[in-house]
Amino acid sequence: MNELNGKIAAVTGAASGIGLASTEAMLAAGATVVLVDRDEKALETICARLGERAIPLVINLLDLDQCAGLLEGVLSKTGKLDILHANAGTYIGGDLMETDLDAIDRMLNLNVNVVMKNVRNVIPHMIERGTGDIVVTSSVAGHSAVQWEPVYSSSKWAMTCFVQTMRRQLLKNGVRVGSVSPGPVISALLADWPEENLRKAKEAGALIEPKEVADAIIFMLTRPRNVTIRDIVVLPSAFDI
């Protein structure tokens, strides 16, 4: 399977969860992948395991200067960028009145502002080359107002809008923009789920593995250039919301 042979990808939040699974899937499809994450030790270990086409790039995306240097960092290592998977994000659940105010700022910065900045950072390069793919990790919570996660769900609704608007802006430039919207994925983010909701989901089999999301991303990236998958929702079959 070499559908992405010769392609250069950058994945944010690549040290775990969906980001790592996406990285592994793109490598298997022949791409070279720049793994963007703030966890330097994790990146070193992962890239040593994955081989020479896995390239670490240590960036704290919540640092304004480091975030602005994403494309420069990628190009210094690879010379071009074909694919951006804007995946880094965090989660807050529970009643709004019990939510820490600083946590709201951090989550909205990472889930919304950083994604917009990353896309803004890379699109001049993709427009100049006349081709590119941008995939944003959203959530089924961006399509349904989930009452126990008002901050998180709102951030993903923002991404649904952002992807739709950017797809329209960039289609004339040969740049495709889409999002993948998983249901609950077995990852570190579930640690912040309400305990009762997590217990019920596990008992019902209403969780999926990161690899199943990565498979959907590969499907999106390997369509003919005249086809754009604007959004793909990936749910556990037992999930009901």
Positions marked catalytic: 152
Q: How many CB atoms within 10 Å of residue 74?
A: 24
Tell the burial category of 1 from Cβ atoms under 10 Å away from its Cβ (0-12, 13-18, 19+). exposed
- Token digits for 51? 């081989």
18 neighbors 190 (Cβ within 8 angstroms): no
Report which DSSP code applies to 109.
I
Q: Are 18 and 214 in contact (CB under 8 A)?
A: yes
Helix 150-170 with 114-129: angle, nearest 10 deg: 10
Output DSSP code: residue 4.
T
Amino acid identity, residue 189?
A: L
CB-based contacts of 29: which residues, under 8 Å, 6+ apart? 1, 2, 3, 4, 5, 218, 221, 222
Distance CA 162, CA 119 (A): 10
Q: Rounded distance, CA 123 to CA 139, Å? A: 23
